[in-house]
Amino acid sequence: MLDNPGESMHNAIMSHAWRVQILGNVCFVRAYAKINLTLDVKGRRADGYHELATVMQTVDLHDTLCLTSTGDGRVEIVCTRPELGNEENLAARAARLLRERFSISQGVLIELRKRIPVAAGLGGGSSDAAAVLLALQQWWRLPLSLSELQALAATLGSDVSFFLTGGLALCEGRGERVTPLAALWPQSMRWLLLLKPAISIATARVFQALPASDYSDGSASRDLVEALHEGRLPRPENFHNGLERGVLEHYPGVARAKADLLQAGASLVRLSGSGPTLYAPFPNLSSATRAQEHLQALGYEIYLAHAVYLDGEERNV
């Protein structure tokens, strides 16, 4: 049913060269957002994390990072969101990790044009970190094996490994075990509206508040992968997010936004990650733009996007 994970991830990483543009001492790279088509929380682990099964897909909403060589031996980050321009930014941590691993003295200035909403359930910080790992691996010609790159990514965050490949993938464990899937995106879901309510939600807080009654056995993720593999449109119940019930209950603004999306014509609305961003698929551009304009008039932050596969070109499937 699933592609060979080792071969698929290797090919995906090798093909990421197109995302990286090197112009002398400057390097540009894109970092794409993701949505969770499913998020099965299977239980709490002994290490305090939760065991997950989640199907994720990259979308064409992206941050842009510009890396510039410097001679001061420092990693510095400047961001269009000033509060993110600090040493704890995952992109800066990724650069420091590679410099320390290979004893590189060259400094790096990271300029981050932030478009992916922050603390939104879209994986922006993790994607930025993965983009830096991929860019510096190519730019500095680092002799990193696939397993070494995965191991480094996992130390930065649970979703960073997924963003090394992007596309459609089943992620397990804390999210760091990635099985890339073929490009099986349903045509009737080719346009996506991403609606970010005007709040931020801390992922850790959502998981801490999650009752055992919201745990699942991972069957929703398995069923969705099976449906896509067989060319069937998954059933609405296959798009299961074990965190959604609690988020809708504790954050009325998210529940209200979901109702407004449905009222605007969406047939399916689901939470991405721990939220608060909601996504809704649309079968054609006209219906998606009508809904987008209606929701923008209500004051919502909303993005029109499509699935993207990072195999040498942005493919809208």
Evaluate if residue 2 carries a pLDDT over 50: no
Residue 147 lies in a domain: yes
125, 156, 180 - which closes a domain: 180
102-124: average pLDDT: 96
Asked if residue 198 and residue 138 are part of one domain, the reply reads no
192 with 144, same domain: the answer is no
Classify residue 210: in a domain, yes or no: yes
Q: Which alpha helices (H) appear in the chain, and where do they start and end?
A: 5-15, 90-101, 124-139, 146-156, 160-163, 203-208, 219-229, 244-250, 252-263, 285-297
Q: How confident is the model at residue 311 (pLDDT cuts 50, 70, 90)?
A: low
Give yes or no: residues 33 and 152 share one domain.
yes
Q: Is the pLDDT of residue 111 over 90?
A: yes
The pLDDT-based confidence of 165 (bands split at 50, 70, 90) is: confident
Note whether 168 and 198 are same-domain residues: no
The reported pLDDT for the residue numbered 18 is 53
- In sequence order, what DSSP letters do the residues of 38-97 get, joined into one string? -BEEEEE-TTSSEEEEEEEEEEEEEEEEEEEEESSS-EEEEESSGGG-STT-HHHHHHHH
Q: Specify if 312 maps to a domain.
A: no
- Is 191's pLDDT higher than 60? yes
pLDDT tens by residue, 6-63 = 443 444 444 455 578 888 889 999 999 999 999 999 999 888 789 999 999 999 999 9
Residue 44 belongs to some domain of the structure: yes
Which of 118, 145, 180 is the C-terminal boundary of a domain?
Answer: 180
Residue 258 bears catalytic tag: no
Note whether 44 and 107 are same-domain residues: yes
Domains in the chain: how many in total? 2
The verdict on 114 and 199 lying in the same domain is: no
- State pLDDT tens for residues 256-306: 999 999 999 999 999 999 999 999 999 999 999 999 999 999 999 999 999
Judge if 257 and 297 occupy the same domain: yes
Per the prediction, the chain carries an average pLDDT of 90
Claim to verify: residue 116 and residue 58 sit in the same structural domain: yes
> Could you tell me the residue range of the domain that residue 227 belongs to?
187-305
Q: What is the pLDDT of residue 270?
A: 98
Residue-wise pLDDT tens digits, 114-151 = 999 999 999 999 999 999 999 999 999 999 877 788 88
CA distances in angstroms from 293 to 119, 248, 290, 301, 302, listed in the order given: 24, 24, 5, 11, 9
Domain boundary among 180, 210, 225: 180
Q: Verify that 128 and 213 share a domain, yes or no.
A: no
Measured CA to CA, the distance from residue 262 to residue 245 in angstroms comes to 17
Selected catalytic residue, list 159, 196, 260, 311: 159
CATH number at residue 277: 3.30.70.890
Q: Are residues 130 and 200 in the same domain?
A: no
| Active-site pick, 34, 114, 196, 258 | 34
Same domain? 146 vs 225: no
Judge whether 34 counts as a catalytic residue. yes
**Residue percentage of the chain with pLDDT more than 70:** 92
pLDDT (0 to 100) of residue 312: 46
